[in-house]
Each structure stands twice: as C-alpha cells, then as structure tokens.
Structure 1
Amino acid sequence: MYYGPYLGRISKGSDTESTKNKVSQTRREDTAMNLRPDPTFYASPKLAMEGPPETLAYTMMLSPDFSQPDGLAVVNVDPNSPDFGKIVHTVIMPNKGDEFHHFGWNACSSALSPLTGHAFLERRYLIIPGMRSSRIYIIDVKGGPTAAKIHKIIEPAEVFAKTGYSRPHTIHCGPEGIYVSTLGGGGKDGTDGPPGIFIMDCQTFDVIGRYEIDRGAQDKHYDFWWNLPRDYMVSSEWALPPQFENGIVPEDLLSNKYGHRMHFWDLRARKNIQTIDLGANHQMALEIRPAHDPVQQYGFCGVVVDTTNLEGSIWTWWRDADGKFQAKKTAIIPPQPANADDLPDLLKGFSAVPPLVTDIDLSLDDKYLYVACWGTGEMHQYDVSDPMKPVLAGKVELGGIVKKTKHPCGKVFGYGPQMVEISRDGKRVYWTNSLYSTWDDQFYPGERGGAMVKADVGANGGLTLDTNFFVEFPKGYRTHQIRLEGGDCSTDSFCYPSV
C-alpha cells in the first residue's frame, strides 16, 4: 500500500491507470510546491537587490471612526501598466474596529536559514493584525493581483488564551514560524502583565505561545528585529494601551513615561541579555532597523521626540568585541519654529513643530537610511555608509502640520510622511501618511484622507517625487503600512553574507 502525502491510502486493487495518473500528477504538483524554495527567497541582500522589480504593493486601509471594516488594498506599481498608481483590488474584512497597523508575510528569506525546517514554504499569505481588536487575518494573495482573499481569521479569544497578550502590532517571519509583537498584556486595558512576542505556526497559522522565557527589564513593547546567524534580537518600546489608544497623553509625555529603552535578546535562549536606556527624555524609541548583511552587527533606532528640545533623533547601536551592545545618538533633526495659531492645541504652547520621527527604513545595501518626519512633513535620506556618521543626502517636503506642502501633481497630501518602504533594488521609495487614528486627530485635526506616494532615488543619492504616482484611498479610509510583492527592505531577514 502507498501512503503518499495528501493522497491517503491507496490499495493494490485500486491501482488502475487512472489512479496512477492521478498519483503521478499529485506527486508532480507536490514536488513543484514543496521541493524547491520560493524564488522570492534570497540567500543574501545582494542577491535580493538583483531580483525582478516589484509590480504590486499591498497597503492597509483603516477606518478611523470604525464605521467601515478595515481592508487590504492591492496597488499596481508597474510603470509599464495602464493601471500604474491605481488600486486594482481590495479585500474588505467582515468585522469593524480592528485598526490595522503593521502586517507581514508568512514566510520570507529567513526560511533559507540552515537552522530551519521550513525552507520550502511559499511567500503566499499576508498576516494582518488588528491592533484594537486583537483579531488576526490571514490573506492568501496567490493567483494574481485580483485574487487576494481571506484564508483564515484568528479570533481574539485564541490570542488571549494561548499568550495572555493583546494588541498585536508587528509581524516578522522567522525560521521557526511567524513572530508577532504585541502592545498589551491581559485585562480590559491591556495592563495585566507586560506585552511581549508570541509565535504562530507558519503553515496552519495556529497560535503556539509566548516567545519570552526571561524578559528581564522589558515591560513595554513596540518593534523587534534580529540578526539570525549572530543569534540575537533587538526590541524597542512605545507605550501601554492607556497611553496610546485614546491619543497621546500629554502629562505622561512631559513626565517621560513613554518608552525610551532598547532590549537585546539571546534569540535562541529567548532571554533578555541587556537593556540600554537612551535617556528618559528620549521618548518613544520606535523602529528597529539592523544592517541587512548578517556579517555586520549594528543597526538603527528612531526616537520620536526629545522632551527637552522637541528634537527627533537617530541612534546607532552596535555590538562590541566583548559581546556587549552599545548605543549612541548619531543624528538629530531639530524642530521648526511656528506661529501658535498654526499649531494644533497639543503643540500651541511650544511655538514650534517637532519633526516627530515615526518611521525609519534601511536600504538592502545598508547605504541609505530613510527617516519619516511626520510632524514637519519631510522624508529624509541619510547616507549611512559610516553608520556612526549619518550624512543627509536627500530630502523631500510633503504635507506637514504647518507647511502643508502639496504633491508635485498638485494634490494635497494630508498629514505627513509616515510608513516608508523601499524596493529591494533601492531605486524606489514608497510612503503613506497616517500614523494612528487618534494621534492623527490630535496632530492633524479634521479628516485628511489616505494617500500613498513614490519617490525615485538618484544614482548618487537624492530623492525626487514621481509626479505620476499619487494613490488616493476610498472615502473614510486612511492608510498605514506597505508591503511589496516579493519582499522589501523591512520584511526579509538574510542568513548569508553578500559577496
């Protein structure tokens, strides 16, 4: 008798020519699906940069007043297509009030790690967490731009029961499964215990359990990323749910009660091995961006605001010869003077608009760091060839609390540059404009609409907005995170050095 995968039990007596053909066909399909790594998995950053350019972008659509379900928009980014810059498909969810945020793939280049048992997965599913609802959607995008559909929904009860965490925030695909960071612990307000990371099965999408064995000093969470061959992870801090869900709490900010630390972990032992405090005045240490080449042991973290002077800042962290981690402020972005009448109530007393560094992203060649200054309405490009001495190489002004700079096409870009994503070859940079619904309303009162734009990168640096690319989202929706077809600069982890 034959016990083949997916074929069940076939007896000798049923071994007809028809059955043989079916078995043969199923074996061929199984081989095609499972015995070769996905071609969008790349061993090194350099190989990823040489891959084909993206033709699709996947973008979150969120309803800030919860009057509509959130959704996924599929955007055509192929300049040779008549649909360039258009939304060609949407997947609207069956529930309201999810507030989508940072989503990611079920599998990526990390699957090629020598330690993995999952090398033959497909980059097929997008894992979308609802930050307010604690519900998670699995979206199957196989079959072309208009084929994306809901594959599975994980209800909040499963997340609570198996992890004790709430408010899932960031998705990263790792060698063993899908890692999900959270912003809340248990209880109604998410403060019954600290938030953390949990792991999902990358094939069944079952919630497995908590990542942490020993969390040490970590009691808040935000972003995380790792160096897989070097076996360490880095995480950062934003706030606890009562400090962000209903908007920023000015008293907590001025009292320096938001996150300001970075945590370093033994990835395999799942243990916090070191915590670095950037200083209580450096409020909201958010995005973590390690060097993509795993030989390198450094990376960057963006800090939203210094409460002593309203500056935003970039910090470089690194591992020294003794195995200890260090961090240093390597770039500052000053606030811009402003008339109090031009500022929202939250900022009137300062007579200045802070840059509000809300996202950063690093090109695959580790050369350019892009910094979103959501408050002043600027996208900065830094040459970080020397990671200890970032040099401003390009800048685009768009939106902003005071400037309100229009796009070159003449359209208004509401809010400011926010979530930024870079093509694998480093030649195109995309970004959206919404931070988080209640924070949008505080810093930019009034509905301003969701938008996505693209800038082209010069051969020697510099940024130029594409006049022909301005994506407007359906009425009542804002937009946040972007993922690119075949992977991008903030999804994939690489396990082999670039040559």
Structure 2
Amino acid sequence: MDPTFYRSPAEAAAAPAEKLAYLVAFDRAAEKPDALAVLDTDPESTSYGRIVGWTDLPTTGEELHHFGWNACSSALMHEGHDHGAEGLQRRYLLLPGLRGSNIHVYDTQPDPTQPKLVKTITGEELAEKAGYSRPHTLHCGPDGLFLSCLGGANGADGPGGIALLDHSSFDVLRAWETDRGPQYLAYDAWWHLRHNTLVTSEWGTPSMVENGVDPELLLSNQYGHKLHFWDLAKGIHQQEVDLGAEHQMALELRPAHDPEATWGFVGVVISTADLSASVWRWHRDDATGSWKADKVITIPAEPASEDELPPALKPFKAVPPLVTDINLSVDDQRLYVSCWGTGELKQYDVSDPSAPKEIGSVRLGGIVRRAAHPADPGQALSGGPQMVEVSRDGKRVYLTNSLYGAWDDQFYPDGVGAWAAKLDVSDDGLTVDPRFFPNGDEFRGLRAHQVRLQGGDASSDSYCYR
C-alpha cells in the first residue's frame, strides 16, 4: 500500500514533509494553454521556492481551478481499488477545466517534477454519462472519485451536482445522486466517512458566475446560501440547512479530520446586509440527529475612500473581506481563512470549534492595501491570499492569489498578477517566508490558482481511524 495513505490524522502529521507542490495556472485570455507547475518546497534545495517543472495542457480555454489526487487515505476503508501490480497509489492528478469541462489526468511518476498526460476525459463524456458540465472540485472516496460540477448537460445551466468517476480507469460512471431533493446549486462536496454523511455547498450556476459577480443577483440574494446533507452510500438528499439568504455564496467545506467527529466549517463570501464575511460550523444535534449550522466567525468590511475602490465597490465605500477559501489543519486545532478582498490571511484557534479565537494574521496584496511580500518590499501586490493549503504537520501554509478570471478582473481591474507564498507557523504566530515567492514572469503570463502537496495535505485526505 502507498506509504502516503495514513490510518489517522496523527500518522499523517508525523510523516515526512512535502518536498514538492503542484500548482495549476490558467490563461485568462484562453489563448495559451493552461499549465500544471511544480514547485520546490524543500528548504535544503538550491531551487527552493522556484518552479522546477512545467507541463502545458494540450487544449486552451479550460480555466484550471480545483484539482486533486486519484487516491488518498480514505482508500484504507474501501475495497475494490485495482491499479495493477503496483497497487493503488497517490500518483495521478486530475485537473478539471471549469470553463472547458474537460478533465486531464497526469501521472506524476516516474519523475514527479515532470508529470505526463495519460488520459483526457472529455466534456462530452461528462455530459453524456453523468449529465453535468463545468467540473469544479475532485475528492477521492468510496465508490469512486467524486467530482462536483456547477452546470448541467447540453447547455443546461443546472442543476449542478456530483459526477462519479471510476477509481482505476477514470471513466465517468454516472451521476452520484439518486434523489437530489431540493438541491439545485452546487459547489463543494465533502463527507463524514464513518457517519455515512456527505455535505454539499452552493455557489451558482455557470451563467451566474462566469462573467463576474452579478450585482442584481447578489443584492437580491440569488447566490447559494445553503448546506445539503446526504446519505453517502445511497446518494439520497436528507436535509437542507439555510444559512440565511443574505449570507451569499457558501463555498469551501472543511469537515473535521477526526473520523468520529460530526462537525466542520464552511466559509461564506459576503453578507448583503453589511458586506461582512463569515465562517459557520455545521454539527449534528445529538438529541435529534439532525444537522445544524451556527455562525462562529464574522469578519467586517474595511472602510475605504471611493477613489481607492474598483467600480463594483465604489458605491459601498468599503472593502469586503471576500472569504474565498478556508482550510483546517489536520489536527483540527487551527483554521485558516483567506480574505481575498482585504488581502489578509487569518489564523484561528479552533480547539473549541464552537468558539474560534483569532491568534494570527498576515497581509499580502488586497484591493486597497496592496501589501508587499518581504522578498520584494517595493512591489505592491495585486490579488490577495485566495487558495490556502496547509501541510500535514500544520507547520506550513501555502497561498496563491487568483480567484476566477472574471472575478479577478472585476475586483482587481488593473491586473491581478500571479504569485504564490508560503507562511511558517510557530507558537508565535505566522511569518511570511522571504525565500518562497514565485511570481510574475515565472508563471509565463498565467494566473496562479490552487496548490496540492506531494504526499497529501490538509484538504486532500479523509481519515478512517483514530
């Protein structure tokens, strides 16, 4: 069995640190191919903090967004994974195209710095076999690979949902849902494996998101604001939890890594009541068995003068935090919250998940502040902490700065640039690593989005045992 499959969160945290990170980058103009870049994360290496591998996609216009491994620690709980004589390995990266709807599969062996394309799952196959388009997030789990999708097939705007892919061949099998109930909007999907529960969140259909935030839809509270709870084994919708219509865009789901736990966090981008952002904790009520959600973090907007703001924000005279990603450390003790609008990465102590306490903060970029990186104090950064990934041992946090092409252009109309950063975590808080700052021309004109770590990371694996 692959040594990067860990029986417990503690075993994962104790494993050797990552020496490489994989990063997807995209061309907003859809003229050049998107790419899979490889970053050196070994501080003892002479190429530390630099891009050491680069593979162009064979297509254009995909807009690579979220991507994932073909297998993770959840494989220890499920039989039927056949990958030939070598056995099941965390080896292949599947790269969904959020605009192009194709999924490209890359083999990271034998040279992990030079991934090779081994299969393309076409948008036509995804539509024909599962009834979906616009693939967004991929997780390895029971029965296959779960691929959340924003759109329907054959031009249908929705409903979005989950496509199930074969673990071994990567063929599209079917739509995962057998009874979707009231669910229509889609975004992320995660689960509590040992409690037979899958959770999904909501963003919007392709027409609602692909051209930027639609002010009319936002102010009339039409974006997603609900969580959905499902029977994981049967694909049957069981319960809907509404966070409140003003809490627009309930995005990233981060369930507790403890396999016996029945709680997790979801980030909400913006409140139409006051431009604040928030983080909510879902949990199972022991008395009734039903699911509930409570707001546990509120992050207010920051006042700003009108001439500092992009056109979309001038009427409000404030910068919304725009929480676009969150990440929970493998030991379930620290929560990281990306405030892409204000350019802040916040760290919370969530040892009591019902009452998080802010214990750290770093500023990079931001719509108004444009806070610089210590590697180049004179460079005003565009974009802000967006995708955030935490190492298995919780000692390193990786950031990238682009959200989604049309949204980048809306909130950073003078250009979002391209950069990645790494933070070191200690008892004293967060420190930006001055040696780790791939940026600008290193990304060959593409924008940097999500990072995955060699051997797994805080958002790639679900664990089966304590």
Q: TM-score with structure 1 length normalisation?
A: 0.90
Other-structure match for 1:353:
319
Instruction: Tell me the equivalent position of 2:45.
Output: 81
Could you list the per-position Cα deviations for residues 95-150 of structure 1 after superposition, in whole angstroms to 9, with x for gaps in the alignment?
A: 1100000000000001001x432284110100000010110000000123333110
Q: Give the CA deviation at 1:177.
A: 1.4
3-state SS, counterpart of residue 471 of structure 1: coil
User: Does the aligned pair in 2 maintain the 1:393–1:461 contact within 8 Å?
Assistant: no
Paired residue for 2:152, among 176, 182, 185?
Answer: 185
2:57 alignment partner AA = M
Hey, what's the Cα distance between the residues in 2 that align with 1:130 and 1:146? 21
Amino acid at match of 1:368: R
Please state whether the residue corresponding to 2:437 is helix, strand or coil: strand
Cα distance in 1 between the residues matched to 2:138 and 2:320: 29
| Superposed CA RMSD | 1.0
Partner residue of 2:131 out of 164, 167, 174: 164
Are residue 47 (structure 1) and residue 11 (structure 2) matched?
yes
Give the aligned partner of residue 265 of structure 2: 300
Q: Report the AA paired with residue 117 of structure 1.
A: G
Deviations 1:194-231 (A, max 9, x none): 11001111111111010000111110000010011111
Partners of 1:447 and 1:118 lie apart in 2 by: 44
- Aligned residue pairs total 457
- Give the equivalent residue in structure 1 for 2:54: 90
2:128 and 2:153 in contact (8 A); partners too: no
Who is 2:172 aligned against? 207
Deviates more, 1:402-411 or 1:273-282: 402-411
Larger CA Rg, structure 1 vs 2: 1
In 1: Cα distance, 2:465 partner to 2:194 partner: 8
1:248 Cα deviation after fit? 1.1
**Aligned mate of 1:488, from 452, 457, 460:** 457
**Residues 258-277 of structure 1 aligned to structure 2 (within 5 Å):** 258-277=223-242
- Label 1:49 to 1:284 Cα distance change in 2 as closer, same or farther (>3 A): same
Task: Report percent identity of matched pairs.
Answer: 54
Where in structure 1 do 4 or more consecutive aligned residues deviate above 4 Å?
none
Q: Is the 8 A contact 2:54 2:114 kept in 1?
A: no
Contact 1:116 1:176 in 2 (8 A): no
**Structure 1, unaligned runs of 5 or more:** 1-36
- Structure 1 Cα separation of the partners of residues 145 and 21 of structure 2: 21
Structure 1 contact 138–152 (Cα < 8 Å) conserved: yes
The separation in 2 between residues aligned to 1:273 and 1:239, in whole angstroms, is 21
- Name 1:144's counterpart in structure 2: 111
| Secondary structure of 2:5 counterpart | coil
Distance 2:161 2:40 in 1: 35
Residue 110 (structure 1) aligned to one of 49, 61, 74: 74
Summarize deviations over 1:416-455 as a string: whole Å, max 9, x none: 1000000000000001000000000000013332111000
- Would you say 1:340 and 2:306 are equivalent positions? yes
Deviation string 1:237-290 (CA, Å, 9 cap, x unpaired) is 001111111111111000000000000011001111100000000000000000
Counterpart CA distance in 1 for 2:289 and 2:56 is 47
**How far apart are 1:462 and its partner, in Å?**
1.3
**Equivalent position amino acid for 1:415 in 2:** G
Residue in structure 2 matching 1:286, options 220, 236, 251: 251
CA-CA distance at 1:461 after TM superposition: 5.5
The one-character-per-residue Cα deviations of 1:13-40 (angstroms, maximum 9, x if unpaired) are: xxxxxxxxxxxxxxxxxxxxxxxx1000
Structure 2 counterpart of 1:430: 398
Question: Hey, what does 1:380 align to over in structure 2?
Answer: 346
More deviation, 376-385/139-148: 139-148
Mean Cα displacement is larger for which, 349-358 or 169-178? Answer: 169-178
In structure 2, the partner of 1:13 is none
Greater displacement, 479-488 / 409-418 = 409-418
Q: TM-score, normalised by structure 2?
A: 0.97
